[in-house]
Amino acid sequence: MTNTIADIETADVILIVGSNTSENHPVLSTYVKRAVKFRGAKLIVIDPRRIKMTEFAQYWLRPNLGTDVAWINGMMHVIIEEKLQDAEFVEKRTEGFEELRQMVAKYTPEFVEGITGIPAENLVAAAKLFAGARAGSILYCMGITQHTSGTDNVKSLANLSMLTGNLGIPGGGVNPLRGQNNVQGACDMGGLPNVYPAYQPVGDLSVAKKMEEAWGVSELPTKIGLKVTEMIPLAYEGKFKSLYIIGENPMISDPDLHHVEKALKNLDFLVVQDIFLTETAQMADVVLPSACFAEKEGTFSNTERRVQRVRRAVTPPGESKEDWWTLCEIARRMGYNMQYADSRAIFEEIARVTPSYAGLTYDRIDAVGMHWPCPTVDHPGTPILHGQQFTRGLGKFHAIEWLPPAEQVDDEYPLYLTTGRLLYQYHTGTMTMKSADLNNRAPESFVEISRKDARKYGIEDGEMVTIASRRGAISVRAKILPKAVGGTIFIPFHFAKGAANQLTNAALDPVSGIPEFKVCAVKIDKAA
């Protein structure tokens, strides 16, 4: 996030796209609701489903799946044609505007309506509302990123924010809502194949040398590693021999699960480190027991870049250990003496090798945490990014054409499927499905279908149906709900029985490697 969670309440206009905020980020959604209800902020929701947040919205635009670049280009077309852009910001703080202007010229509201299904007059009204804001905040989540065009979608949102001068100001920004409590911290620490901590490039020799000195090693590789979505196909082909999985459950969360299962079975050696015996752990050669968040010390870096202390509340059960201890023991037994006294010692090393964390200490974040970047011990932290300039100097507009999703509906598979989360279950259910109360509220997988489509296919509310794609089929219970709109069905991905990801398409974004979870073609029939 370029801005903070609290900062959302100071926005005049909030644009939510690809985020079922009230279910996926229920606490954060209250900031949006308060801004609308008590401060008069205007909300624009752009989502293929009639989610709860649409009840608070001035405008709900319902795009066809996989058409986000088109409607964003359409909004920018309207803003430029009406001369509503922040001309001073564009001139002084950006480059590439002319290329963008020329590219979006053809994305008239009528042209965009033909692609997205969004009525032209609604697109114009929403564009004018956002452009007229003193401060406009964009919130997005995996409904934007989990596409073959996910990287283009994010760049396009950055284009829209820069065009309207909404970066580097209170109440503005482009704000991705992270899906888990410390996924931001995992990325910050170099949990990606192409970077060291603080996104320092693996291929940069000066960075490699700095890390070699810090760790007392030599000849660190400068070759970029594999993404998760590259490892699984190579395992399937027999070219990838072993895998060490920590805190992930790909047997539920990855696309095309039949393919994933075959790939994992094809490994020579699989290690899973987790707090429960997940579906993936049940396939492992070795399972290493982890302490959960409440059983260990350390830090989390949350969605707004706030680095916060985590303190042990209870003793880890049985033989479970803190993850860092297990990793150090494995390293030691493999010949590298990796030793730390405690989690505080690890954080002190983080500050030494991570420029954006250099000014952070346990004492400074003891009470409320601080936002990175915080380069020195006397720096106050940075709640809002890009206040004076961008990391690269000038912000760069990217002229991006819309490309259709990897899979289209046809006569055999006439419906689009999108997937997501529920309020009462979390991710693959590793923790939430241990709660009887949560299981009572969300006990099983289901398909959300519109009344129009239910009538068309002869489906009754509550009956079992079969959903099939080109990759597999599942049986789930039908729910006829007002959230659903014609032509699109929704299935939550949490459940091992009736797993949505047996259907989803493993086509990848060519840059990020993220699968296209949010759109694939399916058919529906009464269960046999």
**Residue among 436, 439, 448 nearest 481 (CA):** 448
Q: Which amino acid is at 441?
A: R
Distance in Å from the first CA to the final CA of the chain: 47
Q: 111: exposed, middle or buried (C-beta count within 10 Å: 0-12, 13-18, 19+)?
A: middle
Distances (CA, A) of 144 to 156, 218, 290, 418, 491: 10, 40, 32, 12, 17
The Cα–Cα gap between 303 and 248 comes to: 19
Domain boundaries, the chain: 6-177, 183-371, 415-526
Strands 515-516 and 505-508, bridge-based pairing:
antiparallel
- Domain 183-371: assigned CATH number: 3.40.50.740
- pLDDT confidence of residue 285: 98
- pLDDT confidence of residue 236: 95
CATH number of 6-177, picked from 3.40.228.10, 3.40.50.800, 3.90.180.10, 1.10.260.40: 3.40.228.10
- pLDDT confidence of residue 181: 86
- pLDDT confidence of residue 265: 97
**Residue among 232, 498, 159, 185 nearest 357 (CA):** 185
**Residue among 479, 414, 473 nearest 443 (CA):** 479
Q: How many Cβ atoms are within 10 Å of 15's Cβ, its own excluded?
A: 28
The Cα–Cα gap between 18 and 141 comes to: 5
Residue-wise pLDDT for 246-293, tens only, equals 999 999 988 889 999 999 999 999 999 999 999 999 999 999 999 999
Strands 269-274 and 242-246, bridge-based pairing:
parallel
Q: Which two tokens stand for residue 102?
A: 């020329």
Strands 306-310 and 446-449, bridge-based pairing:
unpaired
CATH number of 415-526, picked from 2.40.40.20, 3.90.226.10, 3.40.50.970, 2.40.10.220: 2.40.40.20
**pTM attached to this predicted model:** 0.92
Can you list the residues of the chain whose pLDDT is less than 70? Answer: none
Q: How many Cβ atoms are within 10 Å of 88's Cβ, its own excluded?
A: 9
- pLDDT confidence of residue 385: 95
The Cα–Cα gap between 59 and 126 comes to: 7
Q: Which two tokens stand for residue 115?
A: 């692609």
